[in-house]
């Protein structure tokens, strides 16, 4: 039987230059635990496939075999071929493991400005002293608004303010996708490409942005002005795709390039979330008190 072959993976215990490393860091320890878990899963799936093949051989000799060995074997092989555990491992690494880079490492200083520090203290006072850790989300948001993204130094500064272990802040920052853990451009373009927006032409808007800015999804322009990402539903399906056309999209981008901030709201002239045909309900003034109440009551 052909055994599963594990692809070569990044080894966090061996430095890239080949020199001997020191004691493994917390990141390396987490990486090791992930690798061990994936290895156990791989071995279990291989054992399931072997058992299926043995049952398949017995099926030729036993007429009333209660277990369908063929289906068992096919199911195990299908799982093995799909290599879902490899995808899961990558998702875990992306969500949990942090790699220090020149732009994002704990040695980079970050301090809240005087105004933001005052605002942070006001936020903390809204919570009981024993529950001030509940302020982690608004403080992370405050740090991201100041720096432009949520770096490791921002997370550490929040942990210091709240007097909690940094890991408690990391857990929150890595869970919510609206905390940008990589630098983004001055203008952060988030385009919904889920079904309602696609039906209304969001893919044309996406292609227009990519062609006009010469970037792809997940990239930032060389001048650090724009970053483009795809997002799930933005909660404005009735106006999808935010009343934009390829022409108005280009006009909007050019306004940002020239430093002119457009007026908030749809560029189509529509003022509220309503059907294209206009209001169909609540078109008159609301009725007064007692409307619909029986006169004999």
What does the alpha-carbon distance between residue 94 and residue 132 come to, in Å, rounded to a whole number? 29
Question: Class of the 114-175 domain?
Answer: mainly alpha
Instruction: Using the CB atoms, write b or e for 26-61: b if 16+ within 10 Å.
Output: eeeebbeebbeebeeebeebbebbeebbebbeebee
pLDDT band at 90 (very low <50, low <70, confident <90, very high): very low
Q: What pLDDT was estimated at residue 81?
A: 56
Least confident of 12-16, 156-160, 242-246, 256-260: 12-16
Nearest to 266 by CA among 234, 240, 243, 238: 243
Q: What pLDDT was estimated at residue 282?
A: 78
Nearest to 245 by CA among 205, 214, 203, 198: 205
The model's pLDDT over 21-67, given as tens digits with 9 standing for 90+, comes to 556 677 777 778 888 888 888 888 888 888 777 777 776 666 554 54
What does the alpha-carbon distance between residue 163 and residue 133 come to, in Å, rounded to a whole number? 8
- Cα–Cα distances in Å, from 203 out to 208, 217, 272? 8, 12, 23
The model's pLDDT over 109-163, given as tens digits with 9 standing for 90+, comes to 999 999 999 999 999 999 999 999 999 999 999 999 999 999 999 999 999 999 9
Q: What pLDDT was estimated at residue 110?
A: 95
Q: What pLDDT was estimated at residue 267?
A: 80
High-pLDDT (> 90) share of the chain, %: 43
- Cα–Cα distances in Å, from 16 out to 10, 12, 26, 36, 201? 10, 9, 18, 21, 46
Residue 15 has pLDDT above 70, yes or no: no
The model's pLDDT over 166-208, given as tens digits with 9 standing for 90+, comes to 999 999 999 998 999 999 999 999 999 999 899 999 999 999 9
Q: Average pLDDT over the chain, rounded to whole?
A: 81
Q: Which residue has the tokens 């072997």?
A: 50
Least confident of 41-55, 89-103, 180-194, 226-240: 89-103
Q: Give the mean pLDDT of 61-90.
A: 55
pLDDT band at 93 (very low <50, low <70, confident <90, very high): very low
187-257 architecture in CATH?
3-Layer(aba) Sandwich (3.40)
For every residue of 124-193, DSSP letters joined together read HTTS-GGGGGGGHHHHHHHHHHHHSS--HHHHHHHHHHHTS-HHHHHHHHHH-TTS--S---SEEEEEE-
Q: What pLDDT was estimated at residue 131?
A: 93
Does 287 or 275 have the greater pLDDT score? 287
CB 44, CB 80: distance < 8 Å: no
Least confident of 2-11, 44-53, 101-110: 2-11
């Amino acid at each position: 039987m052909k055994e599963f072959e594990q692809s070569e993976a990044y080894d966090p215990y061996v430095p890239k230059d080949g020199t001997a490393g020191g004691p493994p860091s917390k990141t390396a320890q987490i990486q090791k635990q992930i690798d061990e878990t994936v290895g156990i899963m791989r071995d279990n799936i291989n054992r399931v496939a072997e058992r299926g093949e043995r049952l398949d051989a017995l099926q030729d000799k036993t007429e009333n075999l209660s277990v369908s060995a063929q289906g068992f074997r096919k199911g195990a092989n299908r799982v093995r071929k799909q290599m879902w555990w490899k995808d899961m491992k990558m998702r875990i690494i992306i969500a949990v493991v942090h790699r220090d880079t020149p732009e994002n490492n704990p040695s980079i200083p970050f301090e809240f400005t005087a105004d933001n520090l005052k605002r942070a203290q006001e936020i903390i006072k809204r919570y009981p002293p024993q529950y001030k850790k509940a302020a982690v989300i608004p403080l992370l948001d405050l740090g991201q608004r100041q720096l432009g993204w949520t770096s490791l130094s921002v997370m550490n500064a929040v942990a210091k303010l709240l007097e909690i272990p940094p890991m408690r802040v990391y857990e929150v920052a890595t869970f919510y996708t609206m905390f940008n853990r990589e630098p983004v451009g001055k203008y952060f373009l988030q385009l919904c490409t889920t079904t309602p927006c696609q039906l209304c032409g969001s893919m044309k808007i996406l292609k227009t942005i990519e062609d006009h800015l010469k970037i792809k999804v997940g990239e930032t322009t060389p001048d650090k002005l724009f970053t483009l990402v795809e997002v799930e539903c933005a909660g404005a399906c009735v106006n999808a795709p935010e009343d934009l056309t390829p022409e108005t999209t280009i006009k909007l981008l050019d306004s940002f390039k020239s430093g002119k901030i457009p007026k908030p709201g749809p560029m189509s002239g529509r003022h509220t979330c309503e059907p294209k045909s206009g209001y169909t309900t609540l078109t008159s003034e609301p009725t007064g008190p007692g409307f619909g109440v029986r006169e004999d009551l």
